Amino acid sequence: MRRHLTITCLLLFLFVHTTASAECTDQQQANTNFTGLNEVSVRAVACSQSDTAGDVSIDVFLDGKRQTTLHTDYESPAYVLTLDTSITFDDGESQGLGVSTGKGRDGTGMHYWKIPRTGVPIIDLGDAPALEPDRFIHGAFSTLVSSAGIYQSIRYFYEVKHDRLVATQAVGFSQSNSSSYTATLMEITYSGEGVAKQKRTLSIGRANLCMNGKIACW
């Protein structure tokens, strides 16, 4: 009898300890509907596991019924949960969903999914910095990030390949003198390395426009 009581108490302790460990020390929530998918909505909950990291669960609803739950994690001491529903894929035929992860040098990391008009199946496209459709390369997305190497900043260009967001090329910017920048066009290899292909000199004004995606760099 005493042995059974001891085992019961131990199991109860483990259950309470596990439940307490799984609780959030801090929680954020966000909800949104899709303008292009009237029947689909999402509810995201970010749960911190430490001062600098946590998990995000995203429930996807179709006609008010939960269809699936997506997951990602975040890394940031000042994390803010945000949802991006403005991005689309497949020439606007598929709705995109981005969830902030706080990752990356600038803390602008996102995790992206592609949601077809039927709502299923949802395709996990992976992590990338916060992206916007590129104005000059069809089907591509781009973003500007700061750099600590020979470049002061780099504009990366992403494409969806085999259902994953992949950086395919980039333009690095380094200031040559007080009136101009050197822009270096790079090809991004499979390993993520940037291989320089071309260089050109830009005035500060044109370099700033190129950095911010306002003009074509090449």
Reported as type and span, the H/E element at residue 81 is none
Q: What is the pLDDT of residues 45-59, one digit of tens each?
A: 999 999 999 999 999
Residue 147 class from Cβ within 10 Å (0-12 exposed, 13-18 middle, 19+ buried)?
A: middle
Is the pLDDT at 75 greater than 90? The verdict is yes
- The percentage of residues in the chain with a pLDDT greater than 90, rounded to a whole number, is 77
Give the Cα-Cα-Cα angle 30, 144, 180 (nearest 5 degrees).
155
Structural domains of the chain ordered from first start:
131-218 (2.40.128)
Helix residue spans in the chain (DSSP H): 2-22, 204-211
9-18, 127-136, 162-171, 207-216: which has the minimum mean pLDDT? 9-18
Residue 125 to residue 8: CA distance in whole angstroms:
45
Which residues share a beta bridge with 70?
58
- What CA–CA distances, in Å, run from 166 to 56, 141, 187? 23, 10, 12
Asked if residue 121 has a cis previous peptide bond (ω within 30° of 0), the answer is yes
Whole-model pTM: value is: 0.86
Is the pLDDT at 88 greater than 60? The verdict is yes
Contacts of 92 (CB under 8 A, 6+ apart): 36
